[in-house]
Every structure is written in C-alpha cells, then in structure tokens.
Structure 1
Amino acid sequence: MDFFTSDTHFFHEILLQSNNFSPRPYDNLEDFHKGLIQAWNERVTNEDVVYHLGDVAFLNKIKPVQRGYDLTLEILKELHGQIQFVKGNHDTRSFFKYLEKNNYQLADGKNKFVFHDVGLILKANGHQFFMTHYPLMFGQTQNSINLHGHIHNSMVNVPENINVGVDSADLNYLFDDERPTWGTPLSLAEIELIIKAKHDDFAKRR
C-alpha cells in the first residue's frame, strides 16, 4: 500500500513548544521520536511505500553535521517500508547523498530509500497526485491534486491542495473517528476522504 506524510522534523526541539505553528503532542524529543516511530510502524509494513514530502529532520543545532546524519539514519532504519523522499527546504543535498551512500535493500529487494529532488506524480483512484514539498497552484482542475507539506498547521484555501504534513490543518476535514493517531502516515483512503470533505466545504462557500 501507499502512504503519505511530510514535515516530521526529527530533532527540531523548538517545535515542541509551538502550539500554533506546528502543534505536536510531546514535551521532549525522546517521546516525540518514539511516538512518531510507533504511529508509523503500527500502520506501515515493510511491503508498503511511504511518500515523505520533505523536511525529514532539522539538524542545525547538532554538531558535527555527520552526527546529525547518523542519528537521523538510525531513526529512519526503525521505520517500516520503503521511503520515497521529496526534498524539503530543510533537507540538504548532502544529507540525501549521505542516505544514498548508506542505502540498503529490504527483504523484497527494493531499496529502502528513493529520492526525488522536486516531486513526482502518482496516478490512483482517478486522480493525478502531484507530490511536492511546497504547495503548487493549479487553478481549477478535475483530476489533479497537489499533495504537499511545508505549511505546517495551515492549509491552502483551494480544494485541490491537500497538506499531508503530520501537523496539517487539512486533517480537520476528517471526523474524530476517521483520524489516525497523530503522526501516522495517511492512506489513500484518508486522502480521498479529505479531498471530498474539502471540495464539499468549498462548494458551500460559492
């Protein structure tokens, strides 16, 4: 199966004190990392693919740089499934080159990590999903949906844009009994529920 997430921001401690910009239900990095790993692995198996749409970690405060890369790799090794990365503004090319150098094969022979510099397109359920870190502006379109991250606890006021970040405001389009545990990568079924609810909401505004 395919899953979608963004803006995990591992090691970004200051976000844990941010109630508005990026609300996260943890008080310290240890619990934050454990919670994200558990939420991910309770849903994703090693046969699944997770599209991570940018900002894997925030390593500016960790010195030397190599130590930050090593620590992040250890977390990523704990996460189930193949991870396909789209580069975010906090993901350096040197970090992706480090991950590529330390890539390895899963039991099914697929590489653990796959890299996309700007984005990629996935066709599913009658949609073309344009997956990027930064939001795209299509204008009105029947079948194209932009899955993105970057804007944290916000949404683009266009129904064709869906923020899949762990702290996305678009998650509010899911009813309480539909919402996964905080930090869980979203399934295609949940993406479809958000798309319908957001379209219905904007139709009422016209």
Structure 2
Amino acid sequence: MTFVKKFYLSDTHIGHERMLSMQPRPFSTIKEHDEYTIEAWNSVVADGDIVYHLGDFAFNLSRDADRIRGIFGRLKGRKYLIIGNHDVDKKGCLHPTLASLDWDARPEYALRVKDGGVDVWLSHFAARLWPSQHYGAVHFYGHSHGKLPGVGRSRDVGVDMPDVFFQPRTFDELTAAMDIK
C-alpha cells in the first residue's frame, strides 16, 4: 500500500533572476537555481503526494510562460497553490499563466487543511492570528524570506529557510521544534 505524503514550501520564484542577489541565493544563474529547485522537489515528492505551494511560484509569468509550464510539468505531485504577491497580474488577479497550470484545485489566497489531525492555516503572508489558533492550529506562511520569525505555532516555510532549503518539507519536519502534542 502506498501512502500519500503532504509537503509544504513557499517562494520558489522560478525564473526570478533578481532573487539571486536579493536574498542572496547560492546559484550563479537562474537556470541553475531552477534546476536545483526541480531536483530538490522531486527528490522527496512522489507522483501521488500532495504539495502545498504557499505563493510566489514563478516570476516573468508573461515573458517565460512556456518555460514555467515546462517546469511545472516536471515537478512531481499533486500541486496546490496559495496565491502570493508575485502570482498575480497588475490588477491583482491570478496571472493567466498560473491559472492555466494543472493545479489539483483552484488556487486560493488562504487554505485550511488538516495534517496529522492538526488544523493547518496556509497563506502566503504571515498572520499573527489565524483560525483555530487557540485550539492548537498551526500556521505556515512564506513571503518574508526568513526575515520574520514565527509566533507560537507559526513559521516561514520558504525555500530560503535553512531547514527547508528548496525542498518541500512535511508537517512533522516543519513542526519538529514546536510543542504540538
């Protein structure tokens, strides 16, 4: 019997060349960055697994639409998108390139899921309060690129976090330092 795993990560920024110097990310080219991201993802995710991507999947969405579609197709798993600030067009709508991808469900601005019997609130942006927080819910977010520490049972799941480093992580991995019991 095969078990489905759930994974979480944020801020892959596929094709976003400026990310190499802004963070900085340890790659000499955006192609190297993107290929490493694909390899890291596929090294842990199986075809039937679930991956919640918490925003900022790609950049240059109009100019590099075919390349982004190609990379998306190479990534294993059933993919869900929580919409980030770089995932929308100038009017604030989900960019058509991302809307055309084969997400497992319609992309959302936030999503509440269960993992290991625990409520998990997913959003691109960090919240200081989230649904069921006072009943033990966990909050995963991105956007801050490791510069905004979590509060209580919240944490950044961005690829630039040292314990994530471009690889989707499981709930247990991401909450290992939290008192979940």
Q: Answer whether TM exceeds 0.5 for this pair.
A: yes
Instruction: Report the alpha carbon displacement of residue 100 of structure 1 after superposing the two structures with TM.
Output: 4.1
Alignment: residue pair count: 170
Unaligned runs of 5+ in 1: 104-111, 172-178, 200-206
Distance in 1, matches of 2:104 and 2:66, equals 15
Distance in 2, matches of 1:164 and 1:5, equals 5
Q: Please tell me the root mean square deviation across aligned C-alpha atoms, in Å.
A: 2.2
Give 1 or 2 for the bigger CA radius of gyration: 1
Between 40-49 and 118-127, the greater mean CA deviation after superposition: 118-127
Identity between Structure 1 and Structure 2 (%): 29
Unaligned runs of 5+ in 2: none
Instruction: Report the alpha carbon displacement of residue 164 of structure 1 after superposing the two structures with TM.
Output: 0.5
In structure 2, the CA distance between the partners of 1:14 and 1:98, relative to structure 1 (3 Å rule), is closer
After superposition, residues 12-161 of structure 1 pair within 5 angstroms as 12-18=16-22, 22-59=23-60, 65=62, 67-92=63-88, 93-95=93-95, 97-103=96-102, 112-138=103-129, 141-161=134-154
Q: Does residue 6 in structure 1 map to residue 2 in structure 2?
A: no
Distance in 2, matches of 1:23 and 1:5, equals 18
**Residue 79 of structure 2 aligns to which amino acid in structure 1?**
I
Distance in 2, matches of 1:157 and 1:39, equals 24
Distance in 2, matches of 1:126 and 1:102, equals 30
- TM-score under structure 2 normalisation? 0.84
- TM-score under structure 1 normalisation? 0.74
